[in-house]
Amino acid sequence: MNTNKTVADYIIDIPDFPEPGIIFRDITGVLNDADGLRLAIDEMQAKLEGVEFDKIIGLESRGFLLGMPIAYNLGKPFVPIRKVGKLPRATIRKAYDLEYGTAEIEVHAEDIASGERVVIIDDLIATGGTINAAANIVEALGANVVCMVCLLELKGLNGRSVLEKYDVKTVVQYEGK
C-alpha cells in the first residue's frame, strides 16, 4: 500500500461536467485502485470509532459500494435504501428535491426497527437532499440516525445546513461546488 497518498489523490477531477464551470469529482479512481479503495474504506470506517450503532444503511448505489465492506468489517447488518420500484416487499418512501426536479427513495419497512441506532453511508454530500431523505425514512420507522459518513463533501453547496441535527463526518472536503 502506498502510504504517501491520500483519498483525494485517487479522486479524478473532470472539469466542465455535467455543465461548464462544474468540476465533477469522480470516485471511480478510488474504486479501481486497490490501495485507494482500501484507504477510502479504512478512513470512512475510522470515522465510526466510538459510535454505538446497530445497522449500516447504504444509499443506492455508491453508498452500497462503500457501506457494505464497512458493515462486513464491523460485523453489522447492511440495509439498502434504493430508488423507487426496486424493492419487492412493503416499503416506506420519501420524495426529495434535486437540482433539476425531484426523486424518491425507499427501504423495506421491516428492515429497520423502532429504537435501532443506524449509521447512514453514502459517497457524497452535496445539497444534502438525498441523505436527509434517508434520515427521514429511518426516523419515520422509529429508528435513530447516530452518524452519517460520506467519502466526499462539496462544501459550496451547503449540504450540512439541512443536516445540522446529525453527526456528519466526511473524508475529503472540497470548498466549491
Of 19, 49, 99, 164, catalytic: 99
Q: Give the per-residue pLDDT at 134.
A: 98
Q: Average pLDDT for residues 53-79, to the nearest whole number?
A: 98
Active site residue 62: yes
Write out the chain in H/E/C secondary structure. CCCCCCHHHHCEEEECCCCCCCEEEECHHHHCCHHHHHHHHHHHHHCCCCCCCCEEEEECCHHHHHHHHHHHHHCCCEEEEEECCCCCCCEEEEEEEECCEEEEEEEEHHHCCCCCEEEEEEEEECCCHHHHHHHHHHHHCCCEEEEEEEEEEEHHHCHHHHCCCCCEEEEEEECCC
Higher pLDDT, residue 78 or 21: 78
> 22 pLDDT exceeds 90?
no
Of 62, 106, 116, 153, catalytic: 62
Active site residue 164: no
Q: Are 79 and 99 in contact (CB under 8 A)?
A: no
> 85 pLDDT exceeds 80?
yes
Higher pLDDT, residue 4 or 137: 137
Closest CA to 57 of 118, 116, 115, 109: 118
Query: Tens digit of pLDDT for each residue in 87-134?
Result: 999 999 999 987 778 999 999 999 999 999 999 999 999 999 999 999
Q: Give the per-residue pLDDT at 100.
A: 73
This model's pTM is above 0.85: yes
